[in-house]
Structures are given as structure tokens and as C-alpha cells.
Amino acid sequence: MRRFVHRKSGILLGAALLVAASATAQTNLTLPEASPKASINQTVGLTEIGITYHRPAVNKRTVWGELVPYDEVWRAGANQNTTISFSSPVTINGKPLAAGTYGLHMIPTKGDWTIAFSNTSWAWGSFSYDQKEDALRVTAKPQPAEFQERLSYSFDEPTEKSVDVALRWEKLRVPFTVEVDTPAVVTESIRHQLRDLPRFGWQGWNQAANYSLRNKVNLDEAMTWADRSIRMNENFNNLRTKAGLLELKGDAAGAKALNDKAMKVATEADVNAYGYQLLGAGKTDEAITMFQKNVKDHPQSWNAYDSLGEAYDRKGDKKLAAENYRKARSMTNDPEQQKRIDGILKRF
């Protein structure tokens, strides 16, 4: 009987220990954070930039020099270190930085700040920060700003090649400039894309060549792309692309010959689209010439008269604009187009 009781008490003790261990192993509940997590993204050209951070509040505290001490490394946010990622190589305030994800740390001072991009991007705060792990350090000049209760990041003044990244908190804005060699990034992307489905159609090769033409880069390779497009399907678009490349390379005679050839094979839609390209570039008289050609070659097209009317309107010739719009209105049977043209004619 004594042995039985002893064995039972051992079982109860083991069960109690298992319960205690199980309680200890349980995970904590997920509850709202005092400094909520946030992320922000921006594309510059084809380069994707992303920032992930936590947003502490001022909460009636003195931030700079107290809550965030001067001359000490700071996580540029709260909780885990702030991270910033770039999908392609960039320059930060003029200094090169490879593509990748970095821990973003800052050293606030009463003057210029230091901004560090650490190869370690998974640390808790800046407590294990080591300057030896920096991929790059730059300086930034803080600027006065409107009060902001919670820390945030913004992408300001984005262009195809650059954007200003700014930390904003309390009454301070701390910016640094990210620049991208977008033509180089796009050219490399084009090479990659032309290994995939776009390689099987003339359009992809022409788009590739046309990008180089518009940005005046990689002209020799662009010429091979244009030639391949023409071999697949010679048309107005790729002939004009090659003509533009020849002109950039100094072959004016070759460019003129191809432009003349392009006009001979141009469809109504080709000439119309080209006319609007000229309008968009501010070349109104040249656009009118193209639209006049369409009216001459396609006299039964209401759209040809409509486009010519728009070009004259853009030039300020209301009389000829109204004349061509009325012609287009009399030819179209589309109620929506009739209503649109009626609205335009009321302005004259």
C-alpha cells in the first residue's frame, strides 16, 4: 500500500511539472504596440526603395537631446532597427551604395547628423550596432519643420532618377538624397526582359531601341534591337526608331531615307499617333502637317478631322479648329463623340 501511494504521488508531481512547463512555453498575446510598425515605398525609374520602421510618439516629451540623446547611435525609429532597401545600386548624397537591405541608424547632434547604412539589418534597436559593419556613412543637415507627433519617413520630390528621403519627427526634418542611374538600370532590365516572351514580337525589340533613342544611351546595341524588330515586321514605328538612332549617330542621309520609307507604309493610326507625339512635344506646326496628311489620305475618317481640329485649337486658330470639328461631327455616328464635339464647339 505504501508503494502504491508513493508511485501515485510521483505521477502527480510529474503532471504538475508538465503543466508549469507548458504555461512557461506559451507565447504572449499580440497587442497594439506603443510605437506601431509602418512601411513606405517609392519607385525611382525601375528601382524600388522601401523603408520599414516603428513610429514613436512625442507624447509631451523633449525629443532631441533627451529622449534621443545627442552624439549617440539611434535606431532612427523604435523597437527593431529601421531598415531601408534598394533593388538596384544607388548613390546616397553622392556616395555609391550597392543594392540590398540595410539597417538605418543615425547619430543626432546639434549640427549635422551622421546617417549609417549597416550591413546588419535584423538587430534590436542600435544596441548591437557596430560601425565596422557599415556599408556607407553620410552626413545630413537637419531642417526645421512643422510639428509631427509620430515619427515618419517620406519620399519627397521624386523624379525618374532621384528622390529625397526624409525622417520627420517633432519639429525636425532630416533629408538625404537617393540617386539612381536609371538608364543603366532600365537597359539591364531590357536585356533581361528580351530573354523572355517579349523577344518573340517586333514590339519588344522596338520598345527597347526606342528607350535608348529617347534617353540617348546604348546606341550601338539599340541599333541591333531596331534591326531585329525590322526583320520581324517592318513598319512605321520601327523604321522611325532606326531613323532616330541614325540621326543621333550622325547619319542624316540614312535617317531621312528611313523616315521617307516610314511615311510610305504608315497607317492612319500611325500618323495620328505620331501627330499627337508632336503635339505633346510642343511641335504644333509639325503635328498639323501630320494631321493634314491624314485628312488628305483618309478623307472618310471623322477622326482625322477631329485630330486636325484639336491641333488648330492648340495653335489658337479657332476658325480652322471649328471648321474641322464640325466636319468630324457631321461624319461620326457615335453619340458620345457627338456630345464631346458639341461641348468643344460651344467654346468657339
> Which of 180, 213, 231 delimits the end of a domain?
180
Domain of 330, in residue numbers: 183-345
Q: How far is CA 219 from the centre of its chain?
A: 24
Residues 204 and 158 in one domain: no
CB 160 within 8 A of CB 179: no
Q: Is 80 helix (H, G, I), strand (E, B) or coil?
A: strand
Residues 55 and 159 in one domain: yes
* 95-97 and 100-107 beta bridge pairing: unpaired
pLDDT of residue 22: 52
- Residue 160 resides in a domain: yes
- Residue 25 resides in a domain: no
* pLDDT at residue 60 greater than cutoff 70: yes
Question: 218-250: per-residue pLDDT in tens?
Answer: 999 999 999 999 999 999 999 999 999 999 999
Residues 63 and 210 in one domain: no
The separation between the first and the last C-alpha atoms of the chain, rounded to the nearest angstrom, is 114
Average pLDDT score, the chain: 93
Q: How far is CA 33 from the centre of its chain?
A: 31
- Residue 201 resides in a domain: yes
pLDDT category of residue 28 using cuts at 50, 70 and 90: confident
- Residue 128 resides in a domain: yes
What CATH number is attached to the domain comprising 211? 1.25.40.10
Residues 166 and 276 in one domain: no
- Residue 204 resides in a domain: yes
Percent of the chain with pLDDT over 70: 93
How many domains, in total, are found in the chain? Answer: 2
- Residue 291 resides in a domain: yes
> Which of 180, 204, 233 delimits the end of a domain?
180
Residues 200 and 128 in one domain: no
- Residue 13 resides in a domain: no
> Which of 180, 205, 231 delimits the end of a domain?
180
Residues 76 and 188 in one domain: no
- Residue 4 resides in a domain: no
Residues 171 and 271 in one domain: no
pLDDT of residue 25: 59
